[in-house]
Amino acid sequence: MQNLTHRASRILRPATLLAALLALPVIASAQVQPNPATAPADRLSESLWSDRHNSVLEAVHTHPDTQLLLIGDSITNNYDKAHPPDEDFQPLWKQFYEPRHAINLGFSGDTTANVLWRLDHGEVEGLHPKVTVVLIGTNNTGLAKQTAEQTEAGIDAVIGSIERHLPETKILLLNILPSGVSDSKTQRDQAVNRYLATCYGDNPRITYLDISSIFFAHGALNSALFYDPRLPHPGSPLHPDTNGQRMVAEAIEPTLAKLMGDAPQHTLDSMTDIDTALIPVDRLEQDSYDWYARHHAVLDLQKRLQPQVVLLGDSITHFWGGLPAGSPVHGSSSWQYVFGNLQVLNMGFGWDRTQNVLWRLRQGEFDGLHPKWAVLAIGTNNLAATSHARASTPQEIVEGISAICQEITQRSPQTHIILMAIFPRGPNPDSPFRAKIQQTNQLLKQRFGTDPSISYLDIGDQLLTPDGKLPPSLMPDALHPSDAGYLIWADALIKAGIRP
């Protein structure tokens, strides 16, 4: 009930919600058909399904120490298979999930209704897992031909049921994976995923992860990552093959390890098959400020401001100034010089990478805003590898920045984007990040230099001495500008059209 209430408050405006509440007696008397996605339903008449249910009950009974559950349909069920080359999933299970004492609760053909029935009939009874991974809904929008709204309510119901049965378990909720079944199914799936991102992106017990990007190449679905087209009776791309399933496991592994409180089963720097710069995630690095509090401050300001300028970025943007107020502030006078009395929203977050900005955009930080300018300065932290994220390649950073630009344009087509090249960092020309920054900026110029909707600005040379050194007067720590450094940026923005 908690999730359904949350869902209603997200979708209905206050006036609409009041009207809906006043109309409840009328709705009840009209005998509206129940949502099939939220009504628990078994498939006991199917012997394979019944046998699997009984096997799961036995596994639950004999493995009370289970630490991880994977709940879903055939995509999860497939981890039981070991049929090379296309359906060889058991090695992945043994690498990523068996060491965590996991149980596979994936049932081929299941919808949310079937999962609800299974949860109510013993499949998690007596267990106390640390984490449950949920991947469900593709059969709702596919075989069952249910609407996006029905499927959303079904997934809400599954999450609510897990919360009731496993009150101490963290939930990793995955998006409905992309497929090539039909355009109408794709539209329904995308609508469901947008809803899930908004509803579950900021919940302490539920982590939502959208890994759709791993299945696309050059803007199109990569059908080579699905085995259905290669079956004796070919089908549309729906089920990831061995390579696709490995990419799924690798894409969720950093987040899963964080939730489990253990080390990744696969080292981050070896997960190069997936572009982590494109997978939206919340805070990755602990910094000197409260990342989530700043996110909520942006959402609060969004309700009260109609900014003419929105800045998006990392600590370089964060430390310039403006609202929400941050600390430290390094550029007070240059901020006033360029922005003056303009309404400006600063969506710079220290330590952010492209994947963090994507998460924040999909959590609503830009929703309802229609600024004249959006200034984007992101990517330098993608170059740094930590225990929470691997370093991105220059090409991956460009793809991440491109995805951010698409998100902004989708929400506000009239907004003109000013895209900043990555600022130089490190005191000397041979400092570790310099070469990759140069490569990334060259790719950015190739991609965006002639795009009429984007002004690409590179002020790097203005921040350097003739011999390529970064003066402490402009960047005292060789990364973050001083007020004098910000003034160079301010002049560039004024020349690009921003006027106080």
The number of C-alpha atoms within 13 Å of 270 and in the hemisphere containing its C-beta is 7
Specify the pLDDT at position 327: 87
- Is the pLDDT at 11 greater than 60? The verdict is no
3-state DSSP helix/strand/coil percent for the chain, to nearest 5? 45, 10, 40
Q: What class, spelled out in words, does domain 291-496 have in CATH? A: alpha beta
- Is the pLDDT at 23 greater than 90? The verdict is no
299, with CB counted inside 10 A (0-12, 13-18, 19+), is middle
- Give the bridge partners for 420, in sequence order: 457
SS3 32: coil
Helix (H) or strand (E) holding 15: helix 14-22
HEC profile for 245-272?
Answer: HHHHHHHHHHHHHHHHCCCCCCCHHHCC
Q: How far apart are CA 44 and CA 53, in angstroms?
A: 9
- Domain residue limits, the chain: 1-32, 37-274, 291-496
Residue corresponding to tokens 């100034």: 321
By C-alpha distance, which of 196, 208, 364, 211 is closest to 279? 211
Specify the pLDDT at position 497: 94
Q: What is the pLDDT of residues 395-453, one digit of tens each?
A: 999 999 999 999 999 999 999 999 999 999 999 999 999 999 999 999 999 999 999 99
- pTM assigned to the model: 0.87
Q: How far apart are CA 137 and CA 125, in angstroms?
A: 23
- Give the pLDDT band of residue 266 (cuts 50, 70, 90): confident
Q: How far apart are CA 119 and CA 97, in angstroms?
A: 21
Contact present, 391 and 269 (Cβ < 8 Å)? yes
Helix (H) or strand (E) holding 345: strand 344-348
The CATH superfamily of 37-274 is SGNH hydrolase (3.40.50.1110)
Q: What is the pLDDT of residues 239-252, one digit of tens each?
A: 999 999 999 999 99
Q: How far apart are CA 67 and CA 47, in angstroms?
A: 29
